[in-house]
Structure 1
Amino acid sequence: MINLGIIGTNWITEQFIDAALETKKYKLKSIFSRTIERGIDFGKKYQCSSIFNDIDEFAKSKDFDSVYIASPNSLHAPYAIKLMNHGKNVICEKPLSSNYELSKQMFDVAKSNKVVLFEAFTTPYNPNFKVLKENLKSLGKIRSASFSYCQYSSRYLKFLNGENPNTFNPEFSNGSIMDIGYYMVALAVELWGKPQNVQAFGTLLSSGVDANGQVIMSYHDFNVVIQHSKVSNSFVPSEIQGEKASLVIQNLNIISQIKLQNKDFQKDIGVLQNDNRMVYEAQEFCQRVEKKQMLEQEINRSLIVSEVLTEIRKQIGVVFPDDD
């Protein structure tokens, strides 16, 4: 049984707690929040009364052995490093950190303390991802992939009204590519590894982060073309094209539906998934903790994704304070 601490009191934290409890492998023990009042209010739903607003005291606590981090992106690395130095296992929301160097440092700290660091990238653990991967061979030689995830942010209006929400604030290592763009970069890396070349284009907001953009990830004989945006909506599915057939994917981040299709046939091949997609990553993290082992494949994926995201930001001119 994992004794769980959590950092963050937002909707995604609540979703992870519900997923973790559903596995019956976790007990929620402690909550860290920037304000005690918010932490107490959040904890009432789960009958959790161990609340902290001091990260040092939280890290020293013996009440829990593993932590889910859902703080702003810029706090992922310092919080995770502090907790791992106190012997805690960490499941950290994506993106793992602000940049490649910090991600490397995080895994070095995990290894030196013999704890587990696991990036909470849900997609590869969902049942429909396995279906997708198994059906790649049905496509014949892959010739192209187009990944699209564009979702108008609920906080964009605040930005337009002169406020400075975390979503569009470089102080918190945010922006379109670091948020929803991450899913497509990470999915390409999970399927095909490190690209041979990356070309990135983006439109920057006055705050200095990207509102939207395009990325071309080049592999040996095909390209993955990525379209991402937090200031517009798209209803176009994603697609992987082969010489024999194509996979048409709805909602790339969760892979809600998959069709195997060519000019002569169309077949739904998706399977039912848990409504809470985080159940699967909670199960995987539990396995890593129980075995006290990180998987090299997952470490490599996280580092390659972090490296690619850092390169994309460099090309489009997005700079975070952590880059210094």
Structure 2
Amino acid sequence: MTTNKVRFAVIGTNFITDWVIAGGMQDKRFELVAVYSRTQEQANLFAAKYNIPYIFTSLEELASSDFVDAVYIASPNFLHAAQSILMIEHGKHILCEKPLASNVREVKEMIAAANRNDVVLMEAMKPTLTPNFLAVRNNINKVGKIRRYFSCYCQYSSRYDKFKEGIVLNAFNPELSNGALVDIGIYTIYPMVVLFGRPDNIKATGIKLSTGVDGQGCVLFKYTSKEMDAMVMYSKIANSSLPTEIQGEDGNIILDRINIISDVRLMYRGGGGENLTIPNCGHEYYYEVKEFIDLIQTGKKESAINSHENTLITMEIMDEIRRQLGVVYPADQ
């Protein structure tokens, strides 16, 4: 690895990759050296956009390259596991877009491969690594005994308009392991797991679309030993302006948006409150790239926050929600 630099390749050339690169470029240790795309034309266009020196249309050749230290993967969900494991087996560190994989089986295979090859594997779940989520964690004791976690992320998708016209785009295609839960519902669940761990009971309801994926869902959780419950709502077929809230006996913490936390307020039961908001010093995707590079350079193999355990618990929850809703992916077979 070059001195104080981590040489990145990216798999996937969509808008999320653009955002991650924008965040990465705010870290002086980030060096973008390679791009993979299925087509030479798309690879050339993306490389020209960022002045990327190496272009690949073969995953095997990328995996075998000796001038790449780490790979950011933003391909369709059903490809995450196979592509990650291929790179891991060649000694590459992996930052993989959420959801890490299609199901628990694949997540376990990825974690085992990372442990076997002594490399970093981290799910790119950005909100939990931001200063404002840290502010929540550092002040959560102020609400007293916690009784409920509530989170909502409902965003009407423009792709749903096409769906109603009979055109099925990637967002609603089960063959790609897609749907509302794994696309945006995960944002409501992962922070819950980081804060409170694995729930004891899960009860899910939702709407399954004609392609077999979920369009929206509502899930109730029970944390018996903590004497608290949780509720999350997510949708790609309706909008909502509801915030995320942690409710305690002495007060409550309100987060404006769980996917991009811009405002955090603490309201005391007896009156008054605190503004816990910490202004971001970087791009919203900067913090996940920084965390990932920190892990590589300190020799740690997983994040303490976006840990293997938290990723696995979140996927176990999502597998159970899909089971209750009857959502099955080809990758599950």
Q: Which runs of 5+ in 2 are unaligned?
A: none
Aligned residue identity for 2:102: S
Partner of 1:321: 330
TM-score of the two chains, using structure 2 as the length reference: 0.95
Partner of 2:75: 71
Per-residue deviation, 1:267: 2.9
Question: Which residue is 1:312 aligned to?
Answer: 321
Are residue 300 (structure 1) and residue 304 (structure 2) matched? Answer: no
Give the secondary structure class of the aligned counterpart of 1:57: helix
Q: How many residues align?
A: 324
Alpha-carbon contact 2:44-2:55 (below 8 Å) kept: yes
For the pair 1:288 / 2:295, whether they are aligned, the reply is yes
Distance 1:10-1:261 versus aligned 2 partners, 3 A rule: same
Corresponding residue number in structure 2 for 1:208: 212
Task: Please give the TM-score of this superposition, normalised by the length of structure 1.
Answer: 0.97
Question: In structure 2, what is the Cα distance between the partners aligned to 1:205 and 1:51?
Answer: 38
Q: Which residue of 1 aligns with 2:260?
A: 254
Report if aligned partners of 1:40, 1:49 keep a CA contact under 8 Å in 2: no
**Aligned partner of residue 221 in structure 2, secondary structure:** strand
Residue of structure 1 in register with 2:30 after alignment: 26
Aligned counterparts of 2:78 and 2:177: Cα–Cα separation in 1: 5
Residue 131 of structure 2 corresponds to which residue in structure 1?
Answer: 127
Asked if 1 retains the 8 angstrom alpha-carbon contact of 2:118 and 2:301, the reply is no
Partner of 2:285: 278
Distance in 1, matches of 2:99 and 2:281, equals 23
In structure 2, what is the equivalent of residue 175 of structure 1?
A: 179
Q: CA deviation at 1:296?
A: 7.1
Residue 275 (structure 1) shift:
5.5
* Higher mean displacement: 9-18 or 256-265: 256-265
Cα displacement string for residues 227-246 of structure 1 (whole angstroms, at most 9, x for unaligned residues): 10001110111111111111
RMSD over aligned Cα, in angstroms?
1.2
The residue identity in structure 2 corresponding to 1:244 is D
> 1:137-190 deviations in whole A, cap 9, x for unaligned?
110111112110000112111211111211000011110110110011101100
Summarize the alignment of residues 262-273 of structure 1 with structure 2, pairs less than 5 Å apart: 262=268, 264-273=271-280
* Paired residue secondary structure (2:234): strand
SS of the residue corresponding to residue 61 of structure 2 reads helix
Using the alignment, how far apart are the partners of 1:269 and 1:292 within structure 2? 32
Rate the CA distance shift 1:127–1:309 in 2: closer, same or farther, 3 A: same
Q: Say whether residues 1:230 and 2:223 are aligned partners.
A: no
* Amino acid paired to 1:323: D
C-alpha deviation, 1:126, in angstroms: 0.3
- Say if 1:167 and 1:175, in contact at 8 Å, map to a contact too: yes
- Give 2:223's match in structure 1, choosing from 219, 229, 248: 219
2:295 and 2:303 in contact (8 A); partners too: no
CA deviations 1:196-219 (Å, max 9, x no partner) are 111111100001000001011211
**Superposed counterparts of 1:69-218, under 5 Å:** 69-218=73-222
- Match of 1:203, SS? strand
Asked if the contact 2:291/2:303 (under 8 Å) is kept, the reply is: no
The one-letter code sitting in structure 1 at the alignment partner of 2:44 is: I
User: Which digits, 9 at most, give the CA deviation of each residue in 1:244-268, with x for residues without a partner?
Assistant: 1111110111211111113522432
Q: Which residue of 1 aligns with 2:245?
A: 239
CA displacement at 1:13 relative to structure 2: 0.3
Q: Structure 1: which 5+ residue stretches go unaligned?
A: none
Q: For 2:265 and 2:30, how far apart are their aligned partners in 1?
A: 35
- 2: CA distance, partners of 1:226 / 1:268: 24
Deviation >6 Å, runs of 4+: none
Of 201-210 and 289-298, the range deviating more from structure 2: 289-298
- Give me the whole-angstrom Cα distance separating, in 1, the residues matched to 2:282 and 2:170: 27
- Same amino acid, percent of matched pairs: 40
